[in-house]
Amino acid sequence: MLLPSGGEVAVSPTEEMVFSAALALPEQSRAQLADMLWTSLPEERLDLCVPEEVRQGWAEEARRRMQDVQTGNVSLLPGDEVRGPPSPPDAEMNYHFHPDAEDELHGTYEYYEAEREGLGRRFGEAFDEALVRKRG
């Protein structure tokens, strides 16, 4: 099967039929189908949908940041200084981020969204879910 990106992938005749039928759907239906398929994947398998070059970019960025810390180009802040005092369990979630962290968060969203439409949104949702889990 020839992919829109120009690459090819081997698929079974049944998969070919399903893919062809899905591509013939109106844009709105394809978007709904894509969302349904995406959310059907277990969280630990979502990385299958991330292109290899994006995963490599993540690894390179992690190495760059670690090198910046090790060489002293950046300094780490104590967790309490970044997070502030803990909230009582029944308090409303109210987070404040350092302006640099906020800029980085927005930049990361924009990067993922530019890589693949909807990926930035998924990143934002995962980030929000992580905040909720951290609070819990």
pLDDT in tens, 73-132: 888 877 767 666 665 555 555 667 788 888 888 888 888 888 888 888 888 888 887 777
Sign of the alpha-carbon torsion through 104, 106, 109, 113: negative
User: Is the distance from CB of 127 to CB of 105 less than 8 angstroms?
Assistant: yes
- Do you know the residue count of the chain? 136
Average pLDDT estimate for 27-42: 85
**Which of 14-23, 45-54, 66-75, 98-107 has the lowest average pLDDT?**
45-54
If you average pLDDT over residues 35-62, what whole number do you get? Answer: 79
Angle of the 99-115 helix axis to the 119-135 helix axis, nearest 10? 140
Q: In this structure, what DSSP letter does residue 2 have?
A: B
Question: Widest CA span of the chain, in angstroms?
Answer: 58
Task: Indicate the average pLDDT of the chain.
Answer: 79
**Distance of alpha carbon 124 from alpha carbon 112, whole angstroms:** 10
Report pLDDT for 24.
93
Instruction: Check residue 71 and give its pLDDT.
Output: 92
> What percent of the chain has a predicted confidence (pLDDT) above 90?
6
